[in-house]
Each structure stands twice: as C-alpha cells, then as structure tokens.
Chain A
C-alpha cells in the first residue's frame, strides 16, 4: 500500500484535523525500547526499594532512632523487632515485585508481539501505552463478580487464590541468586532450591482442575482436565532435564548452580559449562586428544538439547502458545477460566505471567549463567569485592550518622543482570508465540510422552558417561 494513489499533502489540506501519515518500524522499535527501559527500572526500583527498606533502613531506624522517641525501650527488644522486620524483607520484595512485574510483562508481551506482527499494540493509555495494564486491572476490579448457579462456591472462590499463591512462593530461592546471597537474603538460599521450586509449581495444577470442576460448565471442565493432563505430562521432561543439570553442577542449590557458571559466556551451562574450548582437540591432530574432543562435542550438543527440552517443557507447564489449548480463546471459549469474572480472572491472568517469569528465571539460572556478568571471573570477582564494602561519607547527616557505612552493594549488579536475562528469555518466549501455531491435545500428549521423556532419560545416561570421561 504505497501512497501512489493519493498525494498526502493535498489530502491533508482538506480538513484541519487531517493528518495522513503512518508510523515506521524504527520509530515503533525505539518507542518500545524506551517503554521497556522505563518499566524495567520501575520494576527493579519497586523490588529493590522494598528489599532495601525492610532489610536495612527500617532495622537501622528501629535500633538507633526509635529509642530516642520512646523512653523506656529495651535495646534487646528493639533488636528483636528489627530482626523480625529484616526477616520480612524477602517476603516484601516478592510482594512488591510480583504485581509490578506482571504489569510490565503483560504490556511488554502485547507491544513486542505487535512489533513482530507488523502492528502497533496499545499506545493510547499513557506514554506509548505504559499504563495499559493498570487500566486493565482497574477495569477488571470494577466488573461484577458472578458465581454461576450450581457452581461450588468454596472451590470456585478458592481456585484463583490457589493458582496465584504458589507463583509467589517459588520466588524465594531465586531471590538469593539475584541478591548475590547478601545479608538477609542468605536465608532464602535453600540447598534444595530446585526441588522446592518444582514442588510448589506442581501445586498450581490442582487449582486448574478445581477451577474447571467448580465452574459447573462442561467446557471449563474439559479445559481443566486438559490443562492438568498437560501439566503433569510436561513436568517429567522438565524434572529430568533439571536432573542432568544437577548432575553437571553437583548441587540443587540455585546459588551453587549459578556460581558454577562464573567467568564469561563459555562457562554457561548451555555451552557445556566450560568444555567448549575442548573442541579444538577435534582439529589439532598432533597434541590433541581426538576422543576428548569428540566427547566434548557430544556433551555440548546434549547441553543445547537439554536447554531446548527444558524450554519446551516449561513453556508447556505455564500453558503458553504453542501449548495453550486449555485456555485457547478460539477453541474452548477460554477453557477453564471461562466463568471467572473480575478480580478472579485478573488473578489467573497475573499468575500465568508470574509463572512464565519464574520459568524464565529458572531457565536462566540453570543454563544462561544465572546472575553473573558475561565477563571473566577475575574482573567480576574484583568488581563485586569492590562494591561489597562501600561507605558513602558525604551523605551522612546528623542523626543518620553511621547509616551509610560498610554497605554491601554487590547485589545491584547481580540483580540487574539477572532481571535483564530473564526478560531476554521472556522475549524469546514471545517470539515463539508469534511464530508457532497451537498444538492439538493429542499432538501435545504424544510429543510429551513418546518423544521428550525417553529422550531426557537417555540424555541423563549419556551426560553421566560424558562427565565421567571429561572429569577424569
């Protein structure tokens, strides 16, 4: 559609309001980048603000400033109170991160999907649509809350909450990775981190069946059944892929898995955890060990395959295209969340994007280097060391003396890098959504049970053999 048919200047002269023009792809991409930067800083600010306030500022105020205002305050009591407040810091971080993050993710998906499909996406509410999710949430809040006749009232009201709660709980081990195990966030560092995440992620499946059954609607029931079948069948390849990574890293502790990938891109688990340079052995015929090169090639190929399998399985777990038949708008009248209106629907929606965030986060930790910068180990260690004991002396004022001394700011780098990597994985998930059509239920189940599970089982075996050879 060129402007050969009409002369735009001539047409624009007919009416003062006429403005015949069209946007360009470059302008839209630029606006998207600005919008994302704005929102990512808001998300990071909210989460970091909550963490910093509860872990550092409030304990300091309770310990040092409060006794000046309350006469008979026992110092040990103030200590206990500040300890409790500090202990709440991870919870508050999650509570501030999840809603703000979901707001950004919904908007980012719509804008990025529009960019990939030659459209513009929402751009009327706020700058380039920045407040769109806020407007959507407000609209859903004002909608009438309908419980269908014959629906099981208790289960109907409980299922959105039960779907949303595990999404927030599984954030816990990821916080320690993001915050570089600093301060109170070391308590969030679970040795069974990966298994914790898997366990709580499985809780969401139950609420899908609850939602479908309690709606008193045969289409919702079908959607709920399909959703739970899909969830349990794709959990298995996900767990088996994770098992291989646990074998490679030697621990189920997320912080440990992340730390094994320090030292640049070559150390990432997707590239074989540092065995990529061994591929030179395939070509150097004199002082090379061909068998070592071959096994390294096999190992790296398997790591890439593991990444793809894990990505596929987690996309299926969070009910995302191409695996979103349970909630497909055109197939099943929105599946299991047909009868949910207003805030209940908003909770399902929010929880879905939060699940996707967690799935991307786990993929980043397991395969893409966790929270470490893509620079070599020495520089990163010295950078973090330099920032782990910062004293800002010129901002010390009066009663706040001693507040800004010996701060550990190394978490700034790791959390920003972690967040950016997670959003990059999220963009890849949107990219996949823009490309692939939906899988039918039987195609879905066949793919999961007949292809992915035997494949991952075989991969565990071969990875174990490769590791034994390479480490010997």
Chain B
C-alpha cells in the first residue's frame, strides 16, 4: 500500500474531524428540538375540545332553509337521489304543492360522504355540515327524516356565510353565468350550443 505523508496526516486527522463534525451536528439537532418547544402543540384534545374543521369538510348532511325568508329550499327535483352512488336518499314530493318535498329520508349508515348530492343541488339546499358526532345505538336511528335534517334559519345563514355562498335563487343571472362549474340540470339534455354559450359567457377561450 502506498503510504504517503498525506495519507498519514489524513488518517490521524479524519477521526478528529469526524468527531467534531458529529458533535456539532448533534448539538445543532438538539437546539432545533429546543426550538420546537416554542411551537404550539398540534394535538387537539378531543373530546374536550373539538378539532378545527374546514368549511368544505364533508360530514353530516343537512337541508338548508332560506336565510332571509325561512322557506325550505328543497324543490323535490330528486337530483341528489339520482346522483347518489349509494342510493341512500329518498325524496318524496308533496302531493298537492308544487316544488316542495313532503318527506326526505337520508340513510347516514349507507352514505359515503362523497358530497355529490351537494354539488348537484340546484338551490344549495342539501349541504355537508361540520358535525361528525352522529353515532347512534341502532342502524335504524341513522336514517334521518326531513325534520332531523332541516336546519334552523340562523344555522342556515351561518352555513351560507361560512361556505362563502349566496343561495342560488338570489344569485343574479350574471353571477350564475360567471360560475362555469354550476351544473344546471336541463331536462331535455344539454345542447352543444348551450355549452358553448355558457363557456363564452364565462370568458373561457376555446382551444
């Protein structure tokens, strides 16, 4: 083996350099950990304190009423029932009054909380709330009827504010057109001309 002066010097200084380097890094790590002491703990002490949930979190479903007038927003269009992948919604329209639902069953046991029903609702009636404590003692108790699902006027107003929305009935035609992702159910099928008109109104440039 080639024993040069450089190799000898290197073999003696390398352990010392490694030691100093190692000690320095350990001390650096320890001070970083001390810095973490000043950060707030991220633990949420559930159930004493509820965790912070975003406005768009998908938990228990509820039916809105109009925040101003208090009328029930459901128009019994059955779009939520149609789009639900689990088939857990049953809408029973009113016998005599038009655009009103008589009974509304939603089985939270079947529901997978995908939020599709909230996306297709034309009046922003059915929404996802932030309430996730819906445990019951039996499976039948998980089937909510319209009384249990409907929110009060104050709660509806609060949810509209939280989600940053205005009820669609109050949105002007301009506002409605500006939102290209609102699916407006068209009973006769949506024509290509209507799609292009909608996209042009929203300012989306066609490729």
How many of A's residues come within 8 Å of B, CB to CB?
Answer: 37
CB contacts under 8 Å to B, within A8-27, are 8, 10-11, 13-15, 17-25
| Closest Cβ neighbor of B47 among chain A residues | A17
Contacts of B23 in A (CB 8 A): 308
Contact A435 B26 (CB under 8 A): yes
Residues from chain A with a CB closer than 8 A to the CB of B200 are: none
B44-58 vs A: 1/0 string, CB under 8 Å?
110011111111000
Chain A neighbourhood of B37, CB < 8 A: 25, 29, 115-116
User: How far does the Cβ of B66 sit from chain A's closest Cβ, in whole Å?
Assistant: 19
Would you call A120 an interface residue if the criterion is a C-beta within 8 Å of the partner chain's C-beta atoms? yes
Interface residues as binary, B24-49 with A (CB distance below 8 Å gives 1, 0 otherwise):
00100110111011111111110011
Say whether B49 contacts A22, CB under 8 Å: yes
Kindly provide the distance from the CB of A125 to the nearest chain B CB, expressed in whole angstroms. 13
B127 to nearest A CB, angstroms? Answer: 13
B189 CB–A CB distance under 8 Å: no
Say yes or no: A451 contacts B48, CB within 8 Å: no
Dominant SS among interface residues on chain B: loop
Partner of B158, one of A5, A8, A14, A18: A14
How far, in Å, is A364 (CB) from chain B's closest CB? 19
A5 / chain B contacts, CB cutoff of 8 Å: 52, 54-55
Q: Nearest chain B CB to A278's CB is how many angstroms away?
A: 24
Which single member of B49, B54, B161 contacts A19 (CB below 8 Å)?
B49
| Chain A residues with CB below 8 A from B49, complex form | 19-22
Flag if A10 contacts B26 (CB, 8 Å). Answer: no
What CA separation (Å) do A182 and B23 show in the bound complex? 41
Which residues of the other chain, A, contact B48 by a CB distance below 8 angstroms?
Answer: 19
Chain B residues positioned under 8 Å from A308 (CB to CB): 23
Q: Would you give the 0/1 interface string for B151-170, flagging 1 where the beta carbon is closer than 8 Å to chain A?
A: 00001001001100000000
A10 and B159 CA atoms in complex are apart in Å by 9
Which of A29, A114, A116, A120 is the one whose CB lies under 8 Å from B33?
A116
Q: Mark B104-137, 1 if CB is under 8 A from A, else 0.
A: 0000000000000000000000000111000000
- In this assembly, does A91 line the interface, its C-beta being within 8 Å of a C-beta of chain B? no
B158: chain A residues at CB < 8 Å are 10, 13-14
CA distance A138 to B99 in the complex (A): 63
Cβ contact within 8 Å between A18 and B50: yes
CB–CB B36/A436 < 8 A: no
Q: Give the chain B neighbours of A123 by CB distance below 8 A.
A: 45
Q: Is B15 an interface residue, CB under 8 A from the partner?
A: yes
Determine the distance from Cα of A452 to Cα of B49 in the docked complex, in whole angstroms. 50
Q: Is the CB of B161 within 8 A of A10?
A: yes
Known: A20-B49, A29-B37, A431-B33. A119 touches B54 (CB 8 A): no
CB–CB B161/A114 < 8 A = no
Residues in A whose Cβ lies below 8 Å from that of B52 = 1, 3, 5-6, 8, 11, 20, 22
Docked Cα-Cα span, A6 to B23, in Å, equals 45
Closest-by-CB residue of A relative to B39 is A118
> Which of A11, A29, A436 is the one whose CB lies under 8 Å from B26?
A436
Contact A119 B41, CB 8 Å, known A19-B50, A21-B49: yes
- When C-beta atoms are compared, the residue in chain B nearest to A3 turns out to be B52
Complex Cα gap A363–B13 (Å): 30
- Given A24-B40, A115-B37, the answer on whether A6 and B54 have CB atoms closer than 8 Å is yes
Q: A8-B52, A23-B40, A308-B23 are in contact. List 14 more A-B contacts (CB 8 A).
A: A5-B52, A6-B53, A14-B158, A18-B50, A20-B50, A25-B39, A115-B41, A116-B33, A117-B33, A118-B36, A118-B41, A119-B42, A434-B33, A436-B26
Question: Could you jot down 9 A-B contacts, CB within 8 Å?
Answer: A11-B52, A11-B53, A15-B131, A19-B50, A25-B38, A119-B42, A432-B30, A435-B32, A436-B29
